[in-house]
Chains A and B, each alone.
Chain A
Amino acid sequence: MRNAAHIGAAYVILLVMGAIWRLMPFQSIPDVVALFAAYLGLTARERLAPAMLGAVILGYLADLLGGTPRGMMALTAAVVCVVGHFVHARILVRGLSATVTFAFFTGLASGVFVLTIRAIYGMMPAGLWTDLPVLFGSSVLTALAGPIVFRICRALDARFARSYRERDVALDGLLP
């Protein structure tokens, strides 16, 4: 249920962003899918597979809504989720600056991975140098969106908490 709630929230945000972002004057877009996937990976303490399932579904939805080749964002989200899972024991994403920094690197990693896939499949007609500013802009926007997305995720976790302690801990950003 928790994963479904995260997927639902991400889906709504993707819908809203799809409507909003075409009115914006810049090309770069915050990578919300990567943020959700990273959060799912970070909070998958014992079992990685459910979190990855959530990330893959989320990525697949992003593929459908965004018009990217099916599987691209799903694969990216899965990879980000795995990376998030493996770094969760080493970093503590808590507080604004840590969240922003983590979100920036999440966006950067996600963007680099997408670029790599595109390069492998020969889908970079404009060349790497044209995509790099977009990648950087996207990472910055992801960093800015990070605290909001993580707050939403933590609020959802708090809703699914089984005890007051779990709820408070989830809201504090310590544990799911």
Chain B
Amino acid sequence: MAAASRHVSFTMNVRRRVLDYSLAGLLLLLPALILHANIKDPSNLNKLDQAVLRVSSPLQLAVSWVVEGIGGVFNRYVWLVDVEAENRELRKENAQLARELSELKRKTIDYELVRRLAALRTDPKRQGDVVSARVVAATLNPYFRVGRMRVDAGNAKLQQGMAVIDAYNRLVGRISRVYGSYADILLAIDPQSKISVFVPRTGGRGVLSGLGKHDSYACKIAYVARGEGKEDKTLRVGDRVVTSGLGAFPAGIEVGKIVHVDDVEYGLFQKVKVEPSVDFSNLRAVVVLLSEPPPADPNRNKKKVSARAYGVTPY
């Protein structure tokens, strides 16, 4: 009985095993047949394939969207670390090149300046000796405008009142204080500065002084006689202004151009505004004219009393 039962069990097992392997063989054959049928034209999809792909495609899209979002963060913040380092390196190199370019430009300007200063020193028309000086400091106001500056003139003997011009023979100012080889320049744009100037076109004279504005280098010319309607006597915008030759400055040093003329109906003088030719914010070297300034007025501190004008006293 038991043997028969074992035999039945064995037979069933064998059958089951045979069935299982047969099914497995079929399952092995099935994909082989599918492959053989589709290998020539893989793009041909049946309804089931299309259904599977229709379900899968939106899922793939969603997964792609999520993964690309995460991948984007990765690309930006993790894999771009090298790019960032390269970028930093390039920026550094760029800054260095910019510095070198700036230095070269500066040297070119310096070279031109030195050449002009040398030409000035050997200019036969220039009376007296000159000394070139380097601007070492400037008094800056909140608008970065220059009021006074300090020059290093080496061992030259500077004196108060000496005229200072730039390499292009344009008026800068005069020396106001001297300490050793250093000196302060009272610039022509300073309100305290008084320089006699001359307008070549009209022949008019006046006294140039600064307006003391923080936002411009404009100066004014005081005591310019009104033109009284005469064309050749009336100042115009654009007229060139030079030094007159009175005082410490030789004649003909360029001062600037008239930018505004207010020819008032009343009074004796015109109100004239002048824009200096020198760019004071970019002044790096100057020329000091070593010819001695005219002596100071010996009576400057004495109280002056005008002589009585006889004959006009009312009875």
Q: How far is the CB of B103 from chain A (nearest CB, A)?
A: 43
17 new A-B contacts at CB < 8 Å, known A48-B20, A69-B39: A15-B59, A15-B63, A16-B63, A19-B64, A19-B66, A19-B67, A20-B67, A23-B68, A49-B20, A49-B24, A52-B23, A52-B24, A64-B53, A70-B49, A71-B38, A74-B34, A121-B39
Checking B24, B31, B53, B68 against A74 with a beta-carbon cut-off of 8 angstroms, the contacting residue is B31
Q: Mark A49-75, 1 if CB is under 8 A from B, else 0.
A: 100110010011100110111111011
Contact A56 B56 (CB under 8 A): no
Contact B27 A69 (CB under 8 A): no
A78 within 8 Å of B by Cβ? yes
Contact B23 A75 (CB under 8 A): no
- Residue ranges of B at the interface with A (Cβ–Cβ < 8 Å): 16, 19-21, 23-24, 27-28, 30-39, 42, 49, 52-53, 56, 59-60, 63-64, 66-68, 71
In the complex, the chain B residue whose C-beta lies closest to that of A123 is B39
Contact A19 B35 (CB under 8 A): no
Beyond A69-B39, A70-B38, is A56–B31 a contact (Cβ under 8 Å)? yes
Q: How far is the CB of B35 from chain A (nearest CB, A)?
A: 3
Q: Mark out the residues of chain A between 2 and 22 whose CB falls within 8 Å of any chain B CB in the assembled complex.
A: 11, 15-16, 18-20
Beyond A53-B27, A64-B49, A64-B53, is A75–B35 a contact (Cβ under 8 Å)? yes
A residues in contact with B27, CB < 8 Å: 49, 52-53, 56, 78
A residues in contact with B31, CB < 8 Å: 56, 59-60, 71-72, 74-75, 77-78
A82 within 8 Å of B by Cβ? yes
CA distance A74 to B34 in the complex (A): 9
B residues in contact with A90, CB < 8 Å: none
- B20, B33, B37 — which one has the most chain A CB atoms within 10 A of its CB? B20
